[in-house]
Amino acid sequence: MNLALAKNETGRPLSDSFAVARDRLPGTGKVAEARSAAFDAYDRVGLPHRRIEDWKYTDLRALMREVLPLAPAPDAAALKRAAAAVKLQAIKGARRLVLVDGAFAPKLSELDGLEKGLAIRTLREVLEGGDAALQTQLFTPDSANPLVALNSAMMTDGVVIEIANGVVLKQPLQVIHVATGATPAAMFTRSLLRLGKDAGATLVESYIAADGAKVYQAHDSLVVAIGDNSRLDHVRLVEDAREAVNISSAVLTLGAHAHFNTFGMTSGAAVSRYQATIAFAGEHSRVETNGVNLLNGRQHADTTLFMDHAVPHCVSREVFRAVADDRAHSVFQGRIIVRPDAQKTDAKMMTRALLLSDDAEADNKPELEIFADDVTCGHGATTGALDESLLFYLRARGLSEKEAQALLIQAFVGEAIESIVNDDLRELAIAAAQRWLEARS
């Protein structure tokens, strides 16, 4: 790839917008330097395209074309529309943290009565005046990935959550990203969650659009450190507007005897990519990652996971279910690396895709790289249509074609949804799947 060409296609206009946006971006000194370095890293490559292996199935030059200008800060009317959208996503008993058009919205969030040992700040606060160690941690995601670099350069706000040693939060934390803009714009957010030792938390991330928001880009990233003997339950639901783009990255590290259970579901956005790197840094830890794509029309959704087993005695499980109708395209890339020291690793990955139309496409790319000799690793992938004999059985019992399909689709994604431990969160995911099923009938 010719570098000059990359700039001409995508880099140049954005450099201008970075220059324009620069003054609005929080942080000076080291932070500003880190931003510039990240932007340069992005600018060298531009939007990734299919000739870059990791982006083979998700060519952002074709799918996204350009990075939209930075969204303006939300005004009162935008906040009002955001509040209405947030209401529909509210989980009983959760502590709500709302980002509107990429800016933290204190009035829509609940910051009162924080439990002892829980600290919440905004990204803006931390970048403008926080301690250097936190700032450094916020820049840990690897700029070798151009979209991560772009996010590092442009991040404007987010939440920075710290949970002290020994604190197990009873209340789930729910971060809601709402887009309200009627004119096309991009938002860049980054959040951080640090769990001390012997701690526990539940984090929910929802991506939604307020009434009237159509064309926008949500660029988000999440940095998570789970301390020794701690547990994080995580749910993310992408229900963005049907013309929107959602590019999200996550970098997670686990200490020893830690547990991370995550579930993600994408039913919204025209184009989405979720790229997560999960690294085991301590022994005897466990990760369960479950995902569902529910796609129709011309939706494109990519989930790219990288499970890094660097230490012995850790367990990882990946279960992924994709449903694609019409001309939708689902991508799952799962890479597992078992490094030489990571003996007794137990890593498994299973992906299944259900194609509801002849024009739908599902790409599964499992990659196992094993450098240790005493491990249990496996992967499997299947792709198929709905079973005709099951459909007939249901129809012979009175279900219409759509009802019969809906029941079988529910069953297909059910295994992944069942992995959500918290009852309220599981209900939230079931409701999101239900909305998708109802919209197609």
Partner 1 sequence: MTALLEVKDLKVRVEEREILHGLTLTVNPGEVHAIMGPNGSGKSTLSHVIAGKPGYEVTDGQILFRGEDLLEMDPDERAAKGVFLAFQYPVEIPGVTTWNFLHTALNAQRKARGESPLTSPEFLKKVRAVAKSLNIPQDMLKRGVNVGFSGGEKKRNEILQMALFEPAVCILDEMDSGLDIDALRVAADGVNALRSPERAMVVITHYQRLLNYIVPDFVHVMSKGRVVKSGGKDLALELEASGYAQFEDAA
- Contacts with partner 1 by CB under 8 A lie at 387-390, 392-401, 403-404, 407-408, 410-412, 414-415
State the nearest-atom distance from the C-beta of 404 to partner 1, in Å: 8
Q: Are strands 271-280 and 231-239 parallel, antiparallel or unpaired?
A: unpaired
State the nearest-atom distance from the C-beta of 378 to partner 1, in Å: 21
- Cα-Cα end-to-end distance for the chain: 44
A 10 A CB-CB count for 28 gives 11
Based on its alpha-carbon atoms, the radius of gyration of the chain, rounded to whole angstroms, reads: 21
Residue 77 or 396 with smaller CB distance to partner 1: 396
With residue 417 as reference, give the H or E element that holds it.
Answer: helix 401-417
Residue 371 or 393 with smaller CB distance to partner 1: 393
Phi, psi of 244 (to 5 degrees): -90, 165
Residue 53 or 388 with smaller CB distance to partner 1: 388
* Of the candidates 192, 175, 195, the residue with the CA atom closest to the CA atom of residue 117: 195
DSSP state of 341: T
Sheet of 300-309: strand order equals 118-122, 159-163, 185-195, 216-226, 245-254, 271-280, 300-309, 329-338, 361-370
With residue 380 as reference, give the H or E element that holds it.
Answer: strand 376-384
Residue 279 or 407 with smaller CB distance to partner 1: 407
C-alpha distances (whole Å) from 235 to each of 28, 207, 363 are 33, 11, 23
Residue 209 or 406 with smaller CB distance to partner 1: 406
C-alpha dihedral, 47 to 53 to 57 to 61, nearest 10°: 20
State the nearest-atom distance from the C-beta of 387 to partner 1, in Å: 8
HSE-up of residue 441 (Cα within 13 Å, Cβ side):
16
Residue 17 or 410 with smaller CB distance to partner 1: 410
C-alpha distances (whole Å) from 50 to each of 47, 141, 244, 294, 416 are 10, 22, 21, 23, 29
State the nearest-atom distance from the C-beta of 349 to partner 1, in Å: 20
Residue 111 or 399 with smaller CB distance to partner 1: 399
State the nearest-atom distance from the C-beta of 393 to partner 1, in Å: 5
DSSP state of 70: B
Residue 46 or 291 with smaller CB distance to partner 1: 291
Residue 247 or 413 with smaller CB distance to partner 1: 413
Residues 6+ apart with CB under 8 A from 116: 167
Residue 164 or 407 with smaller CB distance to partner 1: 407
State the nearest-atom distance from the C-beta of 400 to partner 1, in Å: 5
DSSP one-letter string for 149-200? HHHHHH--B-EEEEE-TT-B-SSPEEEEEEE--SS-EEEEEEEEEEE-TT-E
A 10 A CB-CB count for 294 gives 28
* Of the candidates 436, 90, 396, the residue with the CA atom closest to the CA atom of residue 294: 436
